[in-house]
């Protein structure tokens, strides 16, 4: 009928030769469905880190029932398979590794990965604005040097647009342009 973990066999009190009742059959099917979802989720998580939200979406696409998915997500979080805070920090590191990024872009990247961990979102919100300006300034200085051949008004627009796309607030962009001596 189903392949179950020994812990599930013990929990259900199954014995060889035991009479199968409708209730027991339903419990066995539920335990088997949990195990199938557990295996699917662990396979996904063995390939790469996922947030709880991403894992939930993928399990839904594999046609697992919502109550079963809820149980599996809680198990995976408790067992350390899913850690949205650590995953969020990894996403932030990945986004900022080559080029700096503002809080707006970081929040967008976290939301796209379905990371709703309050601690990591708070960490992004509390980023030091001075640190943001310094990182943006260094980035903008390198980019400005590449725009020497471009007419000045067009170069300013390009640089401001680049900083905005990297998630910097308007005030940060203005501060950076002023520090570069651009009016």
Question: Using the 8-state DSSP alphabet, how is residue 150 labeled?
Answer: S
What is residue 59's predicted lDDT score, i.e. its pLDDT?
97
Residues 74 and 13 occupy one common structural domain: yes
Least confident of 27-41, 120-134, 147-161: 120-134
69 and 100 in a single domain? The answer is no
Is the pLDDT score of 1 beyond 70?
A: no
133 confidence band (pLDDT: 50, 70, 90):
confident
If asked whether residues 93 and 73 sit together in one domain, one would say: no
- Give yes or no: residues 57 and 101 share one domain: no
Task: Report if residue 172 sits inside a domain.
Answer: yes
Domain assignment of residue 34, given as a range: 6-78
- 72 and 11 within one domain: yes
**How far, in Å, CA of 30 to CA of 20, rounded?**
15
Residues 152 and 89 in one domain: no
Region 43-54: what's the mean pLDDT?
95
For residues 19 and 72, membership in a common domain is answered with yes
Summary mean pLDDT of the chain: 88
Q: Is residue 150 part of a domain?
A: yes
Nearest Cα residue to 103 out of 159, 111, 86:
111
Do the Cβ atoms of 59 and 37 come closer than 8 Å? yes
Q: How many domains does the chain have?
A: 3
- Residue 73 and residue 13 share a domain: yes
Query: Quick check: is 63 in a domain?
Result: yes
Which residues neighbour 75 within 8 Å (Cβ) at sequence distance 6 or greater?
A: 38
Percent of the chain topping pLDDT 90: 46
pLDDT tens per residue across span 68-123: 999 999 999 999 999 998 999 999 999 988 888 888 899 899 999 999 878 787 77
Model-wide pTM > 0.85? no
Rounded average pLDDT over 6-29: 80
Residue 25 belongs to a domain: yes
Report the Cα 71 to chain-centroid distance in Å: 20
CATH number of residue 159's parent domain: 1.10.10
């Amino acid at each position: 009928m189903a392949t179950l973990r020994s812990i599930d066999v013990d929990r259900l009190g199954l014995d060889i030769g035991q009479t199968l009742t409708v209730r027991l059959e339903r419990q066995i099917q539920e335990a088997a469905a949990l195990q199938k979802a557990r295996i699917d989720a662990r396979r996904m998580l063995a390939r790469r880190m996922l947030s709880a939200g991403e894992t939930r979406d993928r399990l839904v696409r594999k046609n697992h029932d919502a109550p079963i998915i809820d149980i599996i997500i809680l198990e995976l979080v408790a067992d350390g398979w899913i850690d949205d805070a650590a995953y969020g920090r990894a996403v932030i590191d990945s986004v900022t590794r080559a080029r700096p990024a503002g809080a707006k872009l970081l929040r967008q990247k976290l939301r796209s990965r379905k990371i709703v961990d309050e601690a990591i979102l708070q960490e992004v919100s509390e980023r030091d604005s001075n640190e943001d300006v310094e990182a943006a300034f260094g980035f903008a200085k390198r980019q400005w040097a590449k725009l020497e051949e471009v007419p000045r008004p067009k170069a300013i627009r390009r640089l401001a647009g680049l900083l905005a796309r990297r998630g910097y607030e308007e005030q940060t962009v203005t501060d950076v342009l002023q520090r570069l001596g651009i009016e």
